[in-house]
Structure 1
């Protein structure tokens, strides 16, 4: 593509994504599915204005979007968050994953599209959107509700699982030939993860001293290079560029410079991630969604049922009533960035062509249903099993920050009150 054409295409993609997301925000929809919808509307498969004829023309920019998304997530994650939650939070998170991943895997096999496709569908159905969940908690003023800490703890456990799942899935999607090659690829993946995890555990202080010598300009250049290089090395090792970015974010997130890096990377994350979702939308032919409407409907119904069960289980473990169960189950109902990441990996691996439209339709439906259900959780609490709530819901919009906030607010808000995961003085002292 000529440089002028490339700039027009990229600029058009940014503007289309921003305008469509702005319109959707007026009716309370999150930006992620709207960025993707912009790619569908202004892509090669729909009539009218087409900014990008070939999705591969945005491949590098989209890859950077994925890198910055996972890098930021690594910055936000801390093992202390999980430890602080105790065994009940761990049990609630694992219960959520067993129900949703297990149900998604069973549904994937029921579709009969193939084993690799079933594994992708399990991840798509099993992992909720950290970005949308946090945004919903902030915008509904429920951050101080007693169950919100549990919701965010479940998101942390999902993030850990995603890192491991991507590492396991990568050699499978790479179509490794024979058990020996699969075992070798898995060994390389886990060795890479262990090395970076060790750096995060014992190298944070050194990283903090190194980053302290940079001014903001040079710090941006440094961590961009580090994130992109780590992603590239991970991809070459067969681990996935997403995991390389996540793990190096984990290393820097444990350093004393984490707050500076987090604030500086946020605009890069927002801008490039919009192109990642837009580029995924470019691969979707609306005509292909028709044949997968039944699988989409089945997946949506299954997800709603499983989240009702998971919300009830989590509430029971913590002694909460039906209203808290409804708040938990409905808040984690939405699917977003992680489902689209898995969908894009499936497209890159050349899996069944029905995967991409299935993921797109599934994410779009839940992105509409989820926020609407959260806003009506009091009316929907009656469908959840359990006793009546004894805790009153707190919706003080002037005091929204809990003791532990663990997921990035990907979407929309320029102030992004959900971006600081932990605000207790003890936590801050541990960081420093």
Structure 2
């Protein structure tokens, strides 16, 4: 692709994503699936106008978008949130992951696509989208509700799980020849994570001095260089670059410049994050959906049921009623950026080609349905009310006898 063609394609990608996202927002749709749809519509696999012939031409931009997404997630991560929530928050997050990750692995195993594919699906189905969850809470004005702390706490537990899961998953799907080699690669990944965690705990003052400058331009160059450098080092060591980016954000988020970095990285994250989702859409052939539409619908139903079960149990554990339980269940349904990260890893590892259209369809369904369900969670609570009443009467009858 020539210089002019690259600029035209890049500009067209931003415009296509922006136009479709603006249209979608008018009817209340989240931007993540719309960026994907924009990529599908102008990609090489869809009839009509083709903006980008080869998705690999945007590979570096997509990688930068992924780095910035995970870097921002690390910036927003606060260990204090877990400490304040205490044991109940960890138990709630663990229960949510147990139900959803377990269901995802079982579902993948039953599909018969292979062990590595089942492990990828466990993460895809098990982890909700922090970006969509936060957006749903803001748009439905639920930040002040008592169950919101529990919802955000569960996403924090998911973030920790994601970093650890990626470290374990990479050697498994990356072609390790035997268990010993896989264990060695996982050990190297965990060692690197431990080193970065120690830097986040004890080295923030020293690192903060390196990036803390008065000029915003120099601060942007400093934190961007740090994030990309750590991500590249992670990749060089055989660890997913997303983990390095997350840990880089965790480190810088604890420095004195953390608040300024969070503010300055926002537009970069949004712009290049949009390109990441757009490029993912470019790689999707809509014709492949025909072979996976039934598994996609089954997986979506399973996710909704697991979220409902987790919402009811965690709400009861924390003394909440049906309405908060419905809010928890529906808010955490959406899947998005984490599923696409796993899809990118699976494609790079050469796993079953059905994974890519499956994950794309699954994300599209739940990223659209999730916000709609969350906005109408009162209907779910009303539907559950008669069932809850019957169960209370049954328990009362059994206790009286």
TM-score, normalisation: structure 1: 0.88
Q: Deviations over 1:45-93 (max 9, x none)?
A: 0011111111100000000000000000001101111111011111100
Distance across 1 between alignment mates of 2:42 and 2:157: 36
Report the alpha carbon displacement of residue 372 of structure 1 after superposing the two structures with TM.
1.2
1:38–1:281 contact (8 Å) kept in structure 2: yes
Report the alpha carbon displacement of residue 11 of structure 1 after superposing the two structures with TM.
0.8
Question: 1:328 — aligned with what?
Answer: 328
Question: 1:11 — aligned with what?
Answer: 11
Q: Secondary structure at the match of 1:175?
A: coil
Distance across 2 between alignment mates of 1:26 and 1:339: 25
Q: Secondary structure at the match of 2:148?
A: helix
Q: Deviations over 1:16-52 (max 9, x none)?
A: 0110111111111100010011000000000111111
Report the alpha carbon displacement of residue 385 of structure 1 after superposing the two structures with TM.
7.5
Q: Deviations over 1:97-136 (max 9, x none)?
A: 0000000000000110111110111100000000000100
Q: Secondary structure at the match of 1:177?
A: coil
Does structure 1 residue 375 correspond to structure 2 residue 375? Answer: yes
Greater gyration radius: 2
Distance across 2 between alignment mates of 1:319 and 1:385: 16
Question: 1:146 — aligned with what?
Answer: 146
Distance across 1 between alignment mates of 2:204 and 2:34: 37
Report the alpha carbon displacement of residue 206 of structure 1 after superposing the two structures with TM.
2.1
Question: 2:270 — aligned with what?
Answer: 270
CA RMSD in angstroms, aligned pairs only: 1.4
Question: 1:111 — aligned with what?
Answer: 111
Report the alpha carbon displacement of residue 209 of structure 1 after superposing the two structures with TM.
3.0
1:312–1:386 contact (8 Å) kept in structure 2: no
Runs of 5+ unmatched residues, structure 1 = 390-432
Distance across 2 between alignment mates of 1:47 and 1:148: 44
Aligned ranges for residues 211-360 of structure 1 at < 5 Å? 211-360=211-360
Does structure 1 residue 170 correspond to structure 2 residue 176? Answer: no
1:325–1:384 contact (8 Å) kept in structure 2: no
1:72–1:265 contact (8 Å) kept in structure 2: yes
Q: Show structure 1 runs of 4+ deviating over 6 A.
A: 385-389
Aligned ranges for residues 199-214 of structure 1 at < 5 Å? 199-214=199-214
Question: 1:362 — aligned with what?
Answer: 362
Runs of 5+ unmatched residues, structure 2 = 390-401
Distance across 2 between alignment mates of 1:196 and 1:317: 34
Report the alpha carbon displacement of residue 316 of structure 1 after superposing the two structures with TM.
0.9
1:310–1:329 contact (8 Å) kept in structure 2: yes
TM-score, normalisation: structure 2: 0.95
1:96–1:310 contact (8 Å) kept in structure 2: yes
Report the alpha carbon displacement of residue 211 of structure 1 after superposing the two structures with TM.
2.5
Question: 1:410 — aligned with what?
Answer: none
1:322–1:387 contact (8 Å) kept in structure 2: no
297-306 vs 198-207, greater mean Cα deviation: 198-207
2:33–2:368 contact (8 Å) kept in structure 1: no
1:39–1:278 contact (8 Å) kept in structure 2: yes
Q: Secondary structure at the match of 1:194?
A: helix
Q: Deviations over 1:314-359 (max 9, x none)?
A: 1011011111100000000000111111111111111111001001
Q: Deviations over 1:228-250 (max 9, x none)?
A: 11111101111100001000110
1:231–1:243 contact (8 Å) kept in structure 2: yes
Distance across 1 between alignment mates of 2:47 and 2:244: 38
